[in-house]
Structure 1
């Protein structure tokens, strides 16, 4: 009887503690995480924690080794609420075995005209693409193409401003 009474008191309080510890599960849509090294699972967990409100979904996970013999994971993550996210909702990401945070790059089209106050924001946005290129997660030349497009828009802005 005493045990029953103790359980009646403890269980409700344990339930309130459990509410504060949400479990974060990774969803890999294409089974590309099979036999993944521990650092890949840690990377996915890090991204799941980072985007905890969106319940991220992963695909196209690939692991390769860089010249320093460190493992690199590349893949795509969607923050869409849909069970089967649209193709355009996926963002490229990458992480090195010894990195602190994975790099996530959202491919956004550079507008045809930019206010000069927005230039730094677009330059900083391209830095993530540069880092993914260095990791080998996006094709070589992606960052250069991004920079060329950004410079063209900024040049057009300067030319238009002087007319």
Structure 2
């Protein structure tokens, strides 16, 4: 009886947010998750928990094996609140069976001018693209193209500041 009484007092005090995080569902917009392996489902669950406040939407899921015979899942995720997210809201992601966390890369255009204090931020941003390329989730040469563009912007900044 005491337990029942304590439960009756505690339950109304818990807010809805407490229960919200336990039931995270994945929304796959294009049915590409049909026949998804447990690894793919776990990856989607991890990303859903990581972006729990945004209700992520997934598409273009593809699975292949790497040279170590481990599964790799690639796809795109949108954090848009719209039921039909805009094309530019999707970010590429990938994960390998032996990795800890999925890698998510938000494609952002490198500005024409860049303060040298921001260089490390852009270099670190490109590291996610490099990982996705190694996983086979983006075309080969994507990271090199990103690095070339970043180096050109930084070189132009260096030339302009020395004048």
TM-score by length of 2: 0.91
**1:55 match: secondary structure:** coil
- Cα deviation for residue 97 of structure 1 reads 0.7
Bigger Rg, structure 1 or 2 = 1
Pairing 1:111-126 to 2, within 5 Å after superposition: 111-126=111-126
Structure 1 residue aligned with 2:92: 92
Distance 1:160 1:18 in 2: 56
- Cα deviation for residue 99 of structure 1 reads 1.1
Pairing 1:70-89 to 2, within 5 Å after superposition: 70-89=70-89
Structure 2 residue aligned with 1:150: 150
4+ residue runs over 2 A deviation: 6-19
- Cα deviation for residue 33 of structure 1 reads 0.5
> How much is the aligned-residue C-alpha RMSD, in angstroms?
1.9
Pairing 1:42-81 to 2, within 5 Å after superposition: 42-81=42-81
Distance 1:131 1:119 in 2: 19
Q: Deviations over 1:52-77 (max 9, x none)?
A: 11000000000000010000000000
Count of residue pairs the alignment pairs up: 159
Q: Which stretch of the first structure deviates more once superposed, 13-22 or 34-43?
A: 13-22
Distance 1:28 1:157 in 2: 42
TM-score by length of 1: 0.91
Q: Deviations over 1:76-114 (max 9, x none)?
A: 000000010000000000000121110000000000000
Residue 137, structure 1, aligned to residue 134, structure 2:
no
Q: Which stretch of the first structure deviates more once superposed, 80-89 or 10-19?
A: 10-19
- Cα deviation for residue 162 of structure 1 reads 1.3
- Cα deviation for residue 21 of structure 1 reads 2.5
- Cα deviation for residue 35 of structure 1 reads 0.6
